[in-house]
């Protein structure tokens, strides 16, 4: 295995090298590449370039998705939400959840959870930011939601008696049907009090023209065969089921670019992700 040691925290308070496997493409680093970041390695770039060469509009999708995340956090902050459980954090990029939330409410608390150690390596950047709010980074897997809920760092950072925004932004498409995405969301959602929110964005092939279908199928194969996580693109109806316990707020589940767009929303030519926000009654 090709690997690099990067300084980062393995626990909140103890700093130790984080071992990064650079021989296999990782979705977090491929996404970083799509967004124009520098935290990626040859294996990530090779897999990402293959996908781009197939005509998949992943760069546009990544920009659309990232902008959706920002607008959703701003919306939630405006609703008075000050606690965020952001699972599938990704490598820090412009407009991280804690930066937006703490710019609105300096006391906002954000817990980041990702299963890729590279995100931990960037924890210092994630924990920085402005405001007096607390930002916590935990390495854990969405497929084990009970472990996330039981983690003492999560419990210490978030008050489960007050509304929490559960952010599953561009991560559920790395959860296969066999992994049970409905069970995962139910376990997490059941732990949250009324007035909590669910934010989901999800990659889709719905908007892909018939002539581009083979390219899309090949792109899915690249994730399956060359990266650490298989890609499960889903259609709108299936993604809507994830909001079973969180009735959607306006405008519902829509192409990411159409969710409460503002002057900063990047132009988009097609549907690459659906985005929605639901509120637990
Ligand atoms: C496409 S990035 C999304 C980053 C950020 N949420 C955003 O939308 O800008 C997906 C992230 O999900 C993480 N991820 C994938 N599968 C995961 C799992 N089973 N548990 C936790 N994180 C996971 C990846 O490591 C990556 O950082």
User: Residue 139: pLDDT band by 50, 70, 90 thresholds?
Assistant: very high
Q: Is 173 in the pocket of ligand 1 (CB under 6 A)?
A: no
Q: Under a CB-based contact definition with an 8 Å cutoff, are residues 129 and 67 in contact?
A: no
Is 261 exposed, middle or buried, given 0-12, 13-18 or 19+ CB atoms closer than 10 A? middle
Which residue is closest in CA terms to ligand 1's atom 24? 28
Question: What are the tens digits of pLDDT across the range 189-236?
Answer: 999 999 999 999 999 999 888 888 888 888 899 999 889 999 999 999
How far does residue 112's CA lie from ligand 1's centre (Å)? 10
Q: What pLDDT is stored for residue 127 in this prediction?
A: 72
Q: What percent of the chain shows pLDDT beyond 90? A: 72
CA distances from 135 to 34, 174, 203 (A): 26, 24, 27
Domains defined along the chain, listed by start: 57-207+231-279 (3.40.50.150)
pLDDT at 276: 98
User: Residue 4's pLDDT is what?
Assistant: 53
- For the segment 244-273, what is each residue's pLDDT rounded down to a tens digit? 999 999 999 999 999 999 999 998 988 999
Say if ligand 1 is within 6 A of residue 229 CB. yes
Mean predicted confidence (pLDDT) in 79-87: 98
């Amino acid at each position: 295995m090709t690997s690099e040691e990067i300084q980062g925290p393995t626990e909140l308070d103890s700093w130790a090298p984080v071992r990064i496997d650079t021989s296999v493409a990782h979705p977090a680093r491929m996404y970083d590449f799509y967004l124009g970041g520098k935290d990626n390695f040859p294996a990530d770039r090779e897999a990402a370039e293959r996908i781009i060469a197939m005509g998949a509009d992943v760069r546009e999708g990544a920009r659309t998705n990232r902008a959706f995340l920002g607008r959703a956090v701003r919306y939630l902050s405006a609703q008075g939400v000050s606690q965020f459980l952001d699972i599938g954090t990704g490598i820090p990029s412009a407009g991280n959840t804690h930066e937006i939330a703490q710019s609105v409410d300096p006391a906002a608390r954000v817990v980041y959870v990702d299963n890729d150690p590279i995100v931990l390596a960037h924890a210092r950047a994630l924990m920085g930011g402005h405001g007096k709010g607390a930002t916590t980074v935990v390495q854990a897997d969405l497929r084990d939601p009970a472990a996330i809920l039981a983690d003492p760092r999560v419990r210490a950072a978030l008050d489960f008696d007050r509304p929490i925004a559960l952010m599953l932004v561009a991560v559920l498409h790395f959860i296969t049907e066999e992994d049970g995405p409905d069970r995962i969301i139910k376990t997490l959602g059941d732990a949250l009090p009324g007035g909590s929110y669910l934010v989901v964005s999800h990659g889709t092939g719905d908007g892909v023209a018939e002539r581009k279908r083979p390219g899309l199928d090949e792109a899915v194969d690249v994730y399956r065969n060359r990266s650490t996580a298989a890609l499960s693109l889903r259609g709108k109806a299936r993604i809507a089921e994830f909001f079973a316990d969180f009735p959607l707020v306006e405008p519902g589940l829509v192409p990411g670019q159409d969710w409460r767009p503002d002057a900063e929303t990047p132009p988009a030519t097609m549907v690459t992700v659906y985005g929605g926000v639901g509120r637990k009654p």
